[in-house]
């Protein structure tokens, strides 16, 4: 077993899926990696799932495997997000859960390698996809009397990432959205949380596999992330950012002693 195949990552216990029976979930970036694993877990727990992705072949394969529906969607396009929501409502009558998971690697930095097209692509998928997805799905959740949104951020949204500051920037933005939208949406009975995995099994880490193996860094199985998302969806927290790190049980990150206006001891 190589270091990359190590199972030194705590897998949370599976949640009681009774609360998900008959619920309707939309999963963006659902054709592979974390989105695929979560779509499978949601369906296993009794949810009806709409798989959304630009990868039509992979997305249809996942949807067929779980008896769900597939819809092609570019999450960086506001109209495409609205069309996805309309499709889910047409197919299943509404939406209860949205996993805004689609994401890509940055592929450039801020020095001589800066590439505007790559930058726009990364921000479009990783940040705009969450913003536009949230904007599109909120009316559908309100129509059901409430619901839950989980956005895929990253440990890169909780810590400095000198080797990829642009990825860290958009993932920090997702963390900020989760912490802010959680309490803002609570009066509407809508919960908003983020999941923040480290190096997890997905296409994004493909260029990093050799480096991770050489440094003995384990890759988090996609199922661990999926199980964590189910814990979030079936829980009652909001505004939380759940970290997933090798050797520790996933849990909400505690933002201790953060300076705040009028709060000298932090919030």
Q: Hey, CA dihedral for 20, 21, 24, 29, is it positive or negative?
A: positive
Between the CA of residue 230 and those of 20, 61, 117, 263, 267, what are the distances in Å?
9, 22, 35, 34, 28
* C-alpha gyration radius of the chain: 18
**Catalytic site residue 167?**
yes
CA 88 to chain centroid:
18
Contact in structure between 265 and 256 (CB atoms under 8 Å): no
Measured at the CA of 17, the angle between CA 15 and CA 20, to 5 degrees, comes to 130
Q: Which of 167, 192, 242, 253 is catalytic?
A: 167
Number of alpha carbons in the 13 Å side-chain half-sphere of residue 255: 17
Give catalytic residues, as residue numbers.
Answer: 167
């Amino acid at each position: 077993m190589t270091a990359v195949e190590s199972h030194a990552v705590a897998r949370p216990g599976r949640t009681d899926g009774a609360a998900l029976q008959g619920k309707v979930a939309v999963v963006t970036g659902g054709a592979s990696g974390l989105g695929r694993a979560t779509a499978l877990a949601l369906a296993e727990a009794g949810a009806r799932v709409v798989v959304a992705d630009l990868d039509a072949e992979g997305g249809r394969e996942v949807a067929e495997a779980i008896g769900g529906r597939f819809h092609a969607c570019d999450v960086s396009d506001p109209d495409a997000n609205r069309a996805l929501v309309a499709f889910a409502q047409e197919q299943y009558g509404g939406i209860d859960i949205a996993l805004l998971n689609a994401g890509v690697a940055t592929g450039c930095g801020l020095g001589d390698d800066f590439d505007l097209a790559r930058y726009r692509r990364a921000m479009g998928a990783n940040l705009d996809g969450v913003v536009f997805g949230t904007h599109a799905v909120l009316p559908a959740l309100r129509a059901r009397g409430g619901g839950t949104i989980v956005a895929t951020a990253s440990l890169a949204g909780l810590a400095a990432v000198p080797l990829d500051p642009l990825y860290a920037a958009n993932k920090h933005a997702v963390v900020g959205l989760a912490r802010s939208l959680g309490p803002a949406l609570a009066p509407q009975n809508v919960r908003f949380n983020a999941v923040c995995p480290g190096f997890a099994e997905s296409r994004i880490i493909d260029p990093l596999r050799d480096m991770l193996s050489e440094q003995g860094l384990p890759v988090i199985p996609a199922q661990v992330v999926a199980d964590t998302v189910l814990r979030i969806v079936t829980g009652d927290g909001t505004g939380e950012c759940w970290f997933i790190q090798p050797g520790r049980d996933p849990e909400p990150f505690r933002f201790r002693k953060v300076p705040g206006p009028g709060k000298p001891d932090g919030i």
